[in-house]
Every structure is written in C-alpha cells, then in structure tokens.
Structure 1
C-alpha cells in the first residue's frame, strides 16, 4: 500500500515528530511505500490567497470556489499544490500527525487543507455540486487517521471533561475535512499529557502507536452516516426515523447494531 504521512510541528524532538518517525519505520517495515509531507520543513505556504491562482478566471473579484475550480480543471494550480494532490491521489491511507493547538490542528496544516482540497476534487466533485460528499468524492476508498499530541490530561477530554470529548472537538476535521471528500476515517489516536511526557510515557505511547499502525487496514472506521445511503432523503437533514430524539454531532454517527435503511438498487 501507499501511505502519506503529513505532519506539522517545528520541533524535531516533539511527540508529533517522534510518532511520525515511528510511522515511517513501522510502515516501511511492513513493506508499504511511505511518502511524507513535513510541512514546517517544506516551508509550506499556509495562507490561501490570490497567489494560488496565477491565471485568474475573474480579475475583478476573487471567488475562491470559482478560481479553485478553474485552476484545477485547467492545469492552473501552483506546483506545490499539484504535488500534494499527486501524493494524496496515490495514497491508500493518509495519516495526519499534529499537536492539538487551541482545539484544532496548527495553522500550517489547516492551510495545507485549504489550498490542496480543490474545487472539483475535494468538493464540487466532477462538477456535480454537493451530489458526491460525505462518503463519496475525490478521496473515496482511502483511509485516514489522526495522530494527535494533546498537551492536557486525558480526564479533561473525557465524556464530561471540561474541554469536551476529543472526538467531538475533532469532528470538523474527521467528518468535515476527511469524510466529506470520501475518506474512511479511523478513530483518533491521542497521546495525552504530551507537554510533560517523560521517557516512560513516550515509550508507552510509542508501543500503543505501533499497535495502531499494525491495524491500519483492519480497524473499523468511524460509522459516519453517508449522505447518499438513505439517512438524508434531501441530502441535507436526517430523516425523522433516523436517530430519533438525537441531535448534534452524535446524530451523524450510526450506533452499533443500528438498523440501516438501504436505497433500492444498493
């Protein structure tokens, strides 16, 4: 298999960098081809702006959707964006390594997504608007996994913890960034207390991470509801009979053993 590792931390001794190094070692040892995007080392341009569109469709007004679609369809993207898209399209699995900064990914990684997730590829797939999203799209068939270094203790991210459950905090990434264009997203791997992790803690985290890597193509993905699987009749809102009484983020994840309505012909 082909694995893309994308990581974002400027410090080479950080937990993020150490886990990325383990990923490369383990996956190569398993016979996989590993490609990396070390965003800080690359000097990745994080800001999505007019410089991303050397040949504009409309010089009078900057519409990111219009210009992104025009550039993607006409070979007008910048070379760095094209290279990252090439890596993504070749990958069977994508692992994002990053520290949790203000409850999300670092700006440089968010900028990687902003610039690389082009219209016509990650959204507006095949010029069909929102017809292919949440389980379908340009990255369908790929696995995705977050490996997150969390500074605070695990208890703060427990179901009633003060920071909120980690998977809910990361929902905009797992569901909105990765599942939206079709990826199957695995449950997040987190190292808690990363800011003060000692040698023993790092050894335990490393062993746990090696175990997750061994199951990269075996673990079941998060059961996000696909847009076109029947749960969203109008492609916008859950049907009344689906997850009755449940609202918010959790309603968009099927529970274990839940019966699913299947469309005719599926």
Structure 2
C-alpha cells in the first residue's frame, strides 16, 4: 500500500460526528501504511452542489438549449471548467482509491456529495459512450462507499420495512461508480451508530481500522461485463448469456436479475 494515493470525499457538517471519527480513522491508518491521503471536506469547502452554467468559465455552445453534460464536456476539453471542479478532478486523477464518507440521507448520499458527483464526474473526463462500465475510464482505480445509517440492519433486509440494502445501493454503486469504470469495493456500513452504545461505536471503528489495513488488496464487487450486452440491440444481454443463466437459482446482479431472486449480498460483499 506504500506510495498509493487515497482521496476521501467527506460530507458531514460536524467535526464531532461519528462520520468524522470514521474519516479520521481512515486517514490515520492509511497514512501509517504509507499512503498519501487527501480529504475533500465538502461542507468545510462550501462546495457548490448545483450543476449550473456557472461551472463553465468560457462561452457555452447553446445558452438557449443548455445541456449540462454536453456543455461541460466541451468546457473540459477547452480547459474552461470552474476552478473547484478542476481541483477535485486533479485529486481524483491522482488517486488510486476513493472513499466516499457520508451519513445516508433519504436512502442515498447527501445533496452536497451528489453535487460533487454531478459536477466532478463530467462527460469526457469520467465517462463516455465508448468508455463506461467494465470498459470505463477509471477501471484502474478503486472506489467505495463508507456510510452511516439511521436505521438498524434488520430494517434494510429483504423482509425489512426499508427494503433490501442491495437494492438501495445499486444506483450508487452500479449507476455511478461502476458506470465510470471504478473497481467497486464492498461498502463499509455503520448500522445506526446513533442508536447504539459508545462501546458498540468503538467496536465499529476498530473493525473499520482492521479492514483498512488491507483495503487496497480486497477483491471488488462483481458486475456483469459490458461485452455480455448487445449494443446493437439496446444493450440487452446476449442470448448466450441469458441461456447460460437460465437454470441458475439467482439473477446475475441486484439490478440485472433476469426476473429471478436477487443474488444474496451482491452489492455488499465481494465474491458472493
């Protein structure tokens, strides 16, 4: 792990929060392993969440019919993105591992972190029609979600009131991270830390520190490779792939389930 670079994208308002303790533990352990660690503290930076025309410093192609993705691609190519975006892109380009640290808000990331994703992961820089999913631009980088929940683990089960956490994580881990090509490591989930004892929170942190010791050597989560889909037929699974899995008990992934039961822990544990 020595010599590797880590970017922690952190979203919490309080330096006394459990999320802050988790972020600090990651920075401490990884630095001790010889990694260079940068932290983007989004609230402290007052990072702008809204993706707007102000993200472009030059002229836009079409002000009347402004299309953010296309316009920021042109701006990126011309070196005309706003300074806060280009600085985060520099950090991301340098990093071998990106950790997103946050409290789960409404079953997803906080608005300020979603804004980081909307603005920093621009078309051309982070993905293109040709370079996405398993053929994505960031296929040599690893990324992971590390977050706290407000609900206990049982509530995020297949029979729990919140539904299966594997389903909740699919849009974030497949639709954002894997879409950009990242090797997605299993998430680090801290279940309802505000509803457990200080001793239990300490145990959670100890488990996180232990995991961090070998984090860069972990096997990533499994996603269906892009070459399993037919691009000329609306990116549907190729018939031979569907036939191969026709007799299997579970679907391929939490999202591409073939109408079968979801594969257990598909978005939560590697090698499952």
Question: TM-score range, shorter-chain basis?
Answer: 0.7 to 0.9
Instruction: Name the counterpart of 1:261.
Output: none
Q: Deviations over 1:216-264 (max 9, x none)?
A: 1122111011213xx1133711223253374861539x979xxxxxxxx
| 1:132 Cα deviation from its structure 2 partner | 1.7
Answer whether contact 1:52 1:77 (CA < 8 A) is retained: yes
Q: Name the residue aligned to 2:55.
A: 52
Structure 2 equivalent of residue 127 of structure 1: none
Residue-by-residue CA offset, 1:116-165 (whole Å, 9 max, x unaligned) = 011102222xxxxx222112222121011111101111101123222112
Q: How does 1:42-121 map to 2 (within 5 A)?
A: 42-55=45-58, 56-121=60-125
Q: Distance in 1 between matches of 2:148 and 2:159?
A: 20
Q: Which residue of 2 aligns with 1:33?
A: 36
Alignment match, 2:26: 23
CA RMSD between the two structures: 2.0
CA distance in structure 1 between the partners assigned to 2:61 and 2:40 by the alignment: 30
Deviations 1:179-208 (A, max 9, x none): 111100011111111222331011111011
| Residues in 2 aligned to 1:250 and 1:65: alpha-carbon distance in whole angstroms | 26
- The CA distance in 1 between the partners of 2:206 and 2:256, in whole Å, is 30
Q: Which runs of 5+ in 1 are unaligned?
A: 125-129, 257-266
1:8 aligns with 2:7: no
SS of 1:206's equivalent in the other structure is helix
SS of residue in 1 equivalent to 2:167: helix
The answer to whether the 8 Å contact 1:57/1:66 transfers is no
Q: Does the 8 Å contact 1:121/1:137 carry over to 2?
A: no
Runs of 4+ aligned structure 1 residues displaced above 4 Å come to: none
- Tell me the residue number matched to 1:251: 257
Number of positions where the alignment pairs a residue of Structure 1 with one of Structure 2: 248
Distance in 2 (CA, whole Å) between partners of 1:33 and 1:138 is 22
Preserved CA contact (<8 Å) 1:223 1:255: no
Residue 179 of structure 2: aligned partner? 180
> 1:85, CA displacement in angstroms?
0.4
Range with bigger deviation, 35-44 or 208-217: 208-217
User: Which structure 2 segments of 5+ residues have no match?
Assistant: 265-272
Task: Check if 1:132 corresponds to 2:138.
Answer: no
Q: Please, which moves more after superposition, 71-80 or 48-57?
A: 48-57
CA contact (8 A) 1:152 1:195 kept: no
TM-score by length of 2: 0.86
Distance between the aligned counterparts of 1:218 and 1:88, measured in 2? 19
Q: Distance in 1 between matches of 2:151 and 2:208?
A: 19
Mapped partners of 2:132, 2:45: distance in 1: 30
| TM-score, structure 1 normalization | 0.88
CA distance in 1, matches of 2:244, 2:112: 38
